[in-house]
């Protein structure tokens, strides 16, 4: 009976959602080998059943008919289907000789956001980069969180020592430039962020939101401060100034682990509420109230994200966020901002001085931009390709990246990719605005066919926990696991083409164990690396590496523990970790590092600056994710549209009409978008989302192409950067808007 067969073929499987940083556990419904539905896993130890519309659309995303099913190679200018061995043969034949002829920096590597959402993206790029030895590394960090890495590097000596707000226990959250009700949170992994904010309000806590738009998050707050874009660093400096002036600083036990307090007091002296008020467009009295509220709360956390990062003073703002947490004694205490400890982090070293964090160790060839964390600004990628001269980037490897839409001046990059490269390879499931330029496209399988572990986000989670989900359905015939794609790519570009891809994992395991047995504080110190390697369990390289990392980690866990607990293992609330996390030369929190002090005069000059006209900010929509989810009909449309939001007063002044097109122009170019008149944006500010502009020929994303929208980053020419981090200024840049008659 067919009915019975169908029932027998229907089953469920667990899968951690890879679509945003919240890392919710999903229960997938599967018929045969097809995912037909997804709901929140109620037994997940961290997400407890939460799911958002993107996670609920997992089946549609997984089965998108526009996903590439096999590799493509370019022949006579046209991309055609190819076998995997043809594809890797071509990479080895074309890319390796360029490295040999022009040196390692002639190969650019671009790593995009989804690398932090795949196991392959966490496990393989470090080896790729160490074997290629290229300094031409560009990632999504320089259009996102690099200011945080730089400020953490300087303050704590470790760019990954990023404190996260203790959402579930804090009494007071001051949130700047983040809209977790739509983004579901970032550098603060918290499934059901909305529920956690509501719980904060319910237990009598206070939520303050600083955002030029009255976002869904702002609507939940006790107080919304509609700041003028780009001025968060001024506001935060004034908060610090008030704390000093009114003797509200109280470092508590942190005092012992901090140096430079009086220097900071001196540094913020000029930034009084009266001095910053006009630039921020926030009344001085209100700034004083904000500072007093922060100081008076039993526990509090200051947290800033994209809107205080991709701005002119991004690194200063990110630094001041932590300075305020320190001045109020809230860093590293329950209810404040704490450092998570993930299960795959190396076992903590004993406290003591470290090597610190160096900045600007080399500069980019064309623009002279200083490196940060080994990376060059993504905004400088096009000029590194199209500026002639020695050391020019001639070949590009893009992995899970769509810089034509995500970085400033996509048209220039478009031209650089099509006209100035000798070779390009993309690891991407789609043929989109960027990968359409590649000579070889290597598509990973849909997420249901991949295992999942959050190497990155467990380190930024509001609760220590660990979860692993093996692939929910077997790898389809003709597909290649993304880990194997990465391993074969590494072999092809490093002169080892044709070797067994398993040898890549063996090499990493060998290196890691050799280091661990020689490290005094490692749990395997003095042990025999060969015995340890033989003891690793797991089917295949990635699982064996996960097992190894767990064994070398802080919790005495092995892979089998994770397999025995499919809904995850809770490792408890965040705990204080100072001074152990510090790796500064002094072994202390260095409160006023020299590079930040040197950037303060620039901030001081901003006290007197006022934009003559409008400035533009971005926004995110709950049913979008950067550039690559507009191809899912269920997520596209409705309120998820690429409209220019304008305040009614500005619309009246400029003669703009709701629903009618307008022309937006800025230093990098001009665009046309439909106006949406709404008082959710403040006056003087317009908002256009990013990730749109799906009208390029040669891309294969039919649904997205039907409502393409425009690429907001085309308004930029790539020259506006936060100087310390090389991060593009994507928020708060000047634009002109006029009606189109
Ligand atoms: N104006 C403006 N610009 C912005 C932003 C903004 O707020 N405003 N935000 C910035 C931020 S925060 C970020 S992180 C960047 C993101 O910038 P990018 O990382 O360049 O872009 P994404 O759209 O996230 O997608 C990257 C690519 O990954 C592919 N992909 C999806 N899943 C997988 C997978 O499993 N494996 C592989 N190999 N590929 C996959 C997609 O098809 C897509 O081509 O954009 C930035 N750009
Ligand atoms: N639905 C959805 N979720 C996502 C993504 C997505 O594209 N869509 N992208 C993911 C990625 S890659 C990231 S990095 C995270 C980002 O997560 P969030 O940081 O929460 O992202 P946004 O929603 O862009 O929030 C930034 C806010 O800053 C405001 N803003 C702009 N300029 C300023 C300013 O100068 N000062 C202040 N105080 N505010 C300002 C904007 O109005 C906006 O509301 O989201 C992730 N989750
Ligand atoms: S909140 Fe993020 S992780 Fe959770 S279901 Fe939605 S997209 Fe997936
Ligand atoms: Mo991001």
The closest ligand to the CA of 230 turns out to be: 2
Pocket test for ligand 2, best of 51, 142, 177 (most atoms within 8 A of CB): 177
Residue 341, SS3? coil
Q: How far apart are the first and last CA of the chain?
A: 65
Which part of the chain is CATH 3.40.50.740?
Answer: 72-140+365-571
- Which pLDDT does position 8 carry in this prediction? 52
- Domain 72-140+365-571: top CATH class: alpha beta
| Residue 379 alpha carbon to ligand 4 centre in Å | 15
Q: For residue range 612-632, list pLDDT tens digits in order.
A: 899 999 999 999 999 999 999
| Residue 618 alpha carbon to ligand 2 centre in Å | 7
Say yes or no to pLDDT of 538 above 50.
Answer: yes
Say yes or no to pLDDT of 611 above 90.
Answer: no
Which CATH topology does 146-345+579-604 take?
Dimethylsulfoxide Reductase; domain 2 (3.40.228)
What is d(CA 666, CA 660) in angstroms, rounded to the nearest whole number? 20
Which structure tokens are listed for 580? 């152990």
CA 265 vs. chain centroid, Å, equals: 32
Q: Using 50, 70 and 90 to split pLDDT, how confident is the model at 2?
A: very low
Which part of the chain is CATH 2.40.40.20?
Answer: 611-739
What is d(CA 402, CA 624) in angstroms, rounded to the nearest whole number? 15
Residue 178: count of CB within 10 angstroms of its CB? 26
- Which pLDDT does position 697 carry in this prediction? 93
Which CATH topology does 4-62 take?
Phosphorylase Kinase; domain 1 (3.30.200)
For residues 598-606, average pLDDT: 98
Q: For residue range 3-58, list pLDDT tens digits in order.
A: 445 445 799 999 999 999 999 999 999 999 999 999 999 999 999 999 999 999 99
Tokens 């709701």: give the residue.
658
Given the DSSP bridges, would you call strands 34-40 and 72-75 parallel, antiparallel or unpaired?
unpaired
Pick the residue whose CA is nearest to atom 34 on ligand 2. 229
**pLDDT-wise least confident of 199-203, 264-268, 301-305, 635-639:** 635-639
For residues 592-609, average pLDDT: 96
C-alpha closest to that of 727 among 223, 230, 16: 230
0.95 surpassed by pTM: yes
Which structure tokens are listed for 116? 């932090």
* CATH architecture for residues 611-739: Beta Barrel (2.40)
| Residue 145 alpha carbon to ligand 2 centre in Å | 11
SS (H, E, C) 655-676: CCCCCCEEEEEECCEEEEEEEE
Pick the residue whose CA is nearest to atom 12 on ligand 1. 144
Q: For residue range 290-310, list pLDDT tens digits in order.
A: 999 999 999 999 999 999 999
- Which pLDDT does position 121 carry in this prediction? 98
C-alpha closest to that of 533 among 504, 561, 512, 556: 512
Residue 594, SS3? helix
| Residue 442 alpha carbon to ligand 4 centre in Å | 23
- Compute the mean pLDDT over every residue in the chain, rounded to the nearest whole number: 97
- Which pLDDT does position 610 carry in this prediction? 82
Half-sphere exposure of 215 (CA within 13 A, CB side): 30
For residues 229-252, average pLDDT: 98
Say yes or no to pLDDT of 523 above 70.
Answer: yes
C-alpha closest to that of 473 among 1, 117, 131, 11: 11
Which part of the chain is CATH 3.40.228.10?
Answer: 146-345+579-604
- Which pLDDT does position 672 carry in this prediction? 98
C-alpha closest to that of 305 among 176, 391, 192: 176
Q: Using 50, 70 and 90 to split pLDDT, how confident is the model at 741?
A: confident
Q: Would you tell me the crossing angle of helices 482-493 and 502-517 to the nearest 10 degrees?
A: 80
Which part of the chain is CATH 3.30.200.210?
Answer: 4-62
């Amino acid at each position: 009976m067919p009915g019975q067969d169908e029932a027998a073929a229907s089953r469920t499987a667990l899968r951690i959602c890879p679509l945003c940083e919240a890392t919710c556990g999903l229960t997938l419904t599967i018929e045969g080998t097809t995912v037909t539905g997804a709901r929140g896993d109620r037994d997940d130890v961290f997400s407890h059943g939460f799911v958002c519309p993107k996670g609920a659309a997992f089946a549609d995303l997984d089965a998108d008919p526009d996903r590439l099913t096999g590799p493509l190679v370019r022949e006579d200018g046209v991309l055609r289907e190819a076998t995997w061995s043809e594809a890797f043969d071509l990479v080895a034949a074309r890319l390796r000789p360029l490295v040999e002829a022009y040196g390692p920096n002639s190969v650019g590597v671009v790593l995009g956001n989804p690398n932090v959402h795949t196991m392959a993206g966490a496990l393989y790029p470090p080896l790729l980069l160490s074997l290629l030895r290229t300094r031409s590394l560009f990632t999504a960090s320089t259009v996102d969180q690099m200011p945080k890495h730089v400020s953490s590097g300087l303050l704590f000596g470790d760019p990954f020592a990023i404190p996260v707000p203790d959402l579930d226990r804090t009494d007071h959250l001051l949130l700047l430039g983040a809209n977790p009700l739509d983004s579901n949170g970032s550098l603060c992994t918290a499934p059901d962020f909305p529920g956690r904010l509501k719980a904060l309000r319910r237990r009598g806590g206070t939520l303050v939101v600083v955002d030029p738009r009255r976002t869904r998050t702002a609507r939940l707050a006790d107080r919304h401060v509609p700041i003028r874009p780009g001025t968060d660093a001024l506001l935060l400096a004034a908060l610090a100034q008030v704390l000093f002036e009114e003797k509200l600083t109280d470092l508590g036990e942190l005092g012992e682990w901090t140096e430079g307090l009086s220097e900071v007091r001196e540094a913020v002296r000029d930034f009084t509420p009266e001095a910053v008020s006009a630039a921020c467009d926030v009344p001085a009295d209100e700034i004083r109230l904000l500072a007093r509220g922060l100081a008076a709360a039993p526990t509090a956390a200051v947290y800033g994200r994209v809107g205080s990062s991709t701005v002119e003073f991004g690194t200063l703002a990110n630094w001041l966020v932590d300075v305020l947490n320190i001045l109020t004694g809230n860093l590293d205490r329950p209810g404040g901002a704490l450092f998570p400890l993930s299960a795959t982090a190396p076992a903590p070293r004993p406290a003591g001085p470290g090597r610190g964090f160096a900045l600007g160790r080399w500069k980019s060839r064309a623009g002279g931009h200083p490196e940060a964390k080994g990376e060059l600004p993504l905004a400088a990628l096009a000029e590194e390709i199209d500026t002639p001269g020695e050391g020019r980037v001639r070949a590009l490897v893009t992995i899970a990246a769509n810089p034509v839409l995500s970085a400033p001046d996509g048209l220039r990059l478009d031209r650089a990719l099509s006209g100035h490269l000798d070779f390009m390879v993309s690891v991407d499931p789609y043929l989109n605005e960027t990968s359409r330029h590649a000579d070889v496209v290597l598509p990973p399988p849909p997420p249901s066919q991949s295992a999942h572990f959050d190497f990155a986000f467990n380190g930024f989670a509001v609760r220590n926990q660990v979860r692993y989900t093996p692939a929910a359905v077997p790898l389809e015939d003709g597909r290649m696991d993304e880990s194997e794609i990465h391993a074969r790519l590494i072999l092809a570009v490093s002169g080892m083409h044709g070797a067994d891809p398993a040898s890549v994992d063996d090499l990493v395991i060998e290196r890691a164990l050799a280091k661990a047995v020689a490290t005094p504080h490692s749990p395997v110190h003095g042990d025999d690396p060969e015995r340890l390697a033989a003891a690793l369990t797991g089917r295949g390289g990635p699982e064996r590496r996960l097992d190894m990392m767990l064994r070398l980690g802080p919790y005495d866990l092995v892979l089998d523990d994770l397999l025995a607990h499919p809904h995850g293992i809770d490792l408890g609330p965040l705990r204080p970790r100072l001074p152990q996390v510090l790796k500064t030369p002094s072994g202390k929190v260095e409160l006023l590092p020299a590079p930040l002090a040197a950037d303060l005069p620039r901030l001081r000059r901003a006290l007197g600056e006022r934009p003559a006209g409008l400035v533009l900010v971005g926004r995110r929509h709950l049913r979008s994710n950067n550039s690559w989810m507009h191809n899912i009909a269920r997520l596209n449309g409705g309120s998820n549209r690429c409209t220019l939001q304008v305040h009614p007063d500005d619309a009246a002044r400029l003669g703009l009409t709701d629903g009618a097109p307008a022309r937006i122009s800025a230093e990098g170019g001009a665009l046309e978008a439909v106006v949406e008149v709404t008082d959710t944006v403040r006056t003087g500010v317009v908002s256009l989302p990013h990730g749109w502009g799906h009208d390029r020929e040669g891309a294969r994303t039919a649904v997205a192409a039907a409502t393409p929208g425009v690429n907001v980053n085309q308004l930029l020419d790539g020259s506006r950067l936060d100087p310390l981090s090389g991060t593009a200024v994507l928020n708060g840049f000047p634009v002109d808007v006029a009606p189109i008659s």
